[in-house]
């Protein structure tokens, strides 16, 4: 065997060996928290990690996830889980669409967890929007969480809470400056908090208006590393130009010096068709070994550069580096996001030891055998009293035909879970005997109060009718198809929706041993998120304004996803 052939053979074997080793390295997939979970904030306690997200007009609010490995996350509770936390100035009862709970920060200090955030509430249309900034605390992140303490006199949104080494506590927020240089300019400000009352004390300091004179400097977080203070913010709005900026100072109240390489993370320089867009609004955490990770939000390009899920939680590695300049004084280390490529990848090698493999689609079956709903079931706004029960009939979710219907600021009777993938199959078994015109119940796919799909049974003109109602974006609800069921319907029906091949497919059957019958189809882009919140898949009941004591009984709800 000649030497050239040996070299080629050896090189080929090494390449194959390298490819084999690479293939054996286990990887996980972004997003790490799928569905509409934007504005992530993260903290670590020992070897445990916690993330809280914005919840806007949904209740319970402020979902909290836990992980041991930064990859597999479990929903463990909500910061706002009682009605009394969400009334009065904390109103989530009739909150407007895209209002409610914005951009929280979660931190742990001396055995206690803190969440600081904003409730954005507009009393009436054309009235000023109120920014209610507040703090809740808990000894256990699963709850119970305290009633909100409103931070009086704190303007703007997106607050951060920082505990310094000298015992002082600082509030860092976002507001619109008095003399903006351009429309949409934001300003980051800071003030000390009283440790007992959580009220602002002392002088207010104005820290930064952003790195690139971009709109909406917001979402601040303060970190301390090697004696320096770092101010991380979002900039550019929560769309394709979203970005993460950073500045540093040797004094917590500034002045702050911007990193010359800002933005440190964005997708604005990538194709609109890159797998993820609108990346921004980040938070960072240090691992026990001194490594750092960043979580942020992003929108998957699923259909027409958007998705049903809206903004989701992503993770990426961060490396701190010194500036390599010989002609200037080196002051800081700066974080470099995903140093190998500078962008968020769909897959990474696992950051920490794990037990599970890569992300697999989930199949969920709810049979309502317990006295409470699982944590992932949520309502759009605080639900009305006696809207549902798990005790009226054992093994069933009973939903009452209340008068409220799907409309802006209404606490209508909807219970659902977040959609986590574009392609899914959902079904339910319902016992429902409507007798008054207007009584209605069934499946509901809900993006917003003016953007939803109803596939349900309604009593109208003294007959029970199977209906498909579609309310497309910025349009009025239309009845796409209806079917008078007559004697075939004996108060029992199974409904199913399959999302595939760029269409929704609606099926029904009257007995569990019958063949499924296709009712109709509809376009897949009907419920694409505008980027703020994601679609929810669930159940709905109403009397359409009539006085009713009727209810619908659901004895199973199934939801499964195809591979992403």
Q: Is 218 a catalytic residue?
A: yes
The residue written with tokens 């979710």 in the block is 397
According to DSSP, the β-strands at 169-175 and 41-45 are unpaired
Q: Is 404 a catalytic residue?
A: no
Number of neighbouring beta carbons within 10 Å of residue 196: 6
Helix, strand, coil distribution of the chain in percent, nearest 5? 5, 45, 45
Whether the CA torsion 530, 534, 539, 542 is positive or negative: it is: negative
Q: Report residue 225: phi and psi, to 5°.
A: -140, 125
Number of neighbouring beta carbons within 10 Å of residue 303: 15
DSSP code, position 486: G
Q: 3-class SS at 160?
A: strand
CA distance 373 to 18: 49
Is residue 400 within 8 A of residue 388, CB to CB? The reply is: yes
> Of 158, 187, 218, 421, which residue is the catalytic one?
218
Q: Shortest CA distance to 399 belongs to which of 549, 213, 274?
A: 549
CA distance 36 to 376: 12
CA distance 219 to 335: 17
CA distance 479 to 548: 23
The residue written with tokens 């109103």 in the block is 91
Q: Which helix (H) or strand (E) holds 252?
A: none
Q: What angle (nearest 5°) sits at the alpha carbon of residue 446, between those of residues 123 and 33?
A: 95
CA distance 105 to 503: 38
Active site residues: 39, 218
């Amino acid at each position: 065997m000649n030497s050239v052939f040996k070299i080629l053979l050896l090189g080929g074997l090494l390449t194959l060996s390298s490819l084999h080793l690479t293939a054996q390295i286990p990887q996980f997939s972004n997003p790490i928290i799928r569905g509409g979970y934007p504005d992530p904030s993260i903290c670590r306690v020992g070897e445990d990690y916690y993330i809280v997200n914005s919840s806007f007009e949904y209740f319970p609010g402020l979902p909290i996830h836990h992980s041991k490995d930064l990859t597999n996350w479990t929903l463990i509770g909500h910061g706002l889980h009682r009605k009394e936390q969400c009334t009065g100035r904390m109103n989530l009862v009739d909150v407007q669409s895209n209002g409610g709970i914005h951009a929280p920060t979660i931190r742990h200090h001396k055995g206690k967890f803190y969440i600081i955030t904003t409730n954005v509430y507009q009393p009436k249309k054309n009235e000023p929007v109120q920014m209610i900034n507040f703090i809740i605390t808990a000894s256990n992140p699963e709850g119970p969480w305290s009633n909100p303490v409103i931070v009086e006199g704190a303007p703007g949104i997106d607050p951060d809470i920082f505990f310094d080494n000298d015992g002082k506590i600082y509030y860092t927020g976002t507001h619109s400056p008095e003399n903006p240089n351009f429309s949409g300019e934001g300003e980051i400000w800071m003030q000390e908090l009283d440790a007992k009352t959580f009220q602002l004390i002392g002088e207010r300091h104005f820290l930064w208006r952003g790195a690139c004179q971009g709109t909406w400097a917001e979402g601040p977080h303060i970190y301390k590393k090697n004696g320096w203070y770092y101010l991380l913010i979002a900039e550019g709005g929560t769309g394709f130009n979203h970005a993460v900026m950073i500045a540093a100072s040797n004094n917590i109240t500034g002045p702050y010096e911007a990193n010359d390489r800002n933005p440190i993370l964005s997708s604005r320089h990538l194709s609109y068709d890159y797998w993820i867009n609108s990346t921004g609004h980040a938070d960072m955490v240090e691992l026990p070994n001194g490594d750092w990770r960043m979580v942020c939000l992003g929108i998957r390009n699923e259909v027409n550069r958007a998705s049903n899920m809206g903004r989701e939680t992503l993770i990426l590695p961060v490396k701190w580096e010194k500036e390599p300049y010989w002609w200037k004084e080196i002051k800081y280390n700066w974080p470099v996001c995903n140093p190998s490529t500078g962008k968020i990848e769909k897959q990474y090698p696992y950051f920490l030891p794990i037990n599970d493999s890569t992300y697999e689609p989930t199949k969920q079956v709810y049979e309502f055998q317990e006295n409470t709903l699982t944590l992932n079931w949520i309502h759009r706004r605080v639900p009305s009293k006696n809207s549902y029960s798990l005790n009226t009939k054992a093994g069933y979710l009973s939903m009452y035909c209340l008068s409220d219907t799907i409309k802006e600021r209404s606490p209508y009777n909807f219970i659902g879970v977040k959609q986590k993938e574009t392609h899914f199959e959902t079904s339910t078994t319902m016992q429902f005997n409507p007798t008054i015109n207007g009584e209605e119940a069934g499946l509901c796919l809900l993006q917003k109060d003016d953007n939803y799909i109803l596939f349900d049974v309604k009593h109208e003109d003294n007959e029970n009718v199977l209906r498909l109602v579609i309310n497309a974006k910025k349009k009025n609800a239309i009845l796409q198809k209806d079917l008078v069921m007559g004697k075939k319907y004996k108060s029992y029906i199974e409904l199913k929706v399959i999302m595939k091949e760029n269409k929704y497919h609606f099926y029904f059957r009257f007995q569990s041993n019958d063949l499924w019958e296709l009712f109709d189809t509809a376009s897949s882009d009907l419920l694409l998120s505008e980027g703020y919140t994601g679609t929810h898949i669930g159940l709905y009941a109403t009397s359409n304004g009539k006085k009713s004591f009727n209810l619908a009984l659901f004895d199973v709800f199934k939801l499964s996803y195809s591979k992403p």
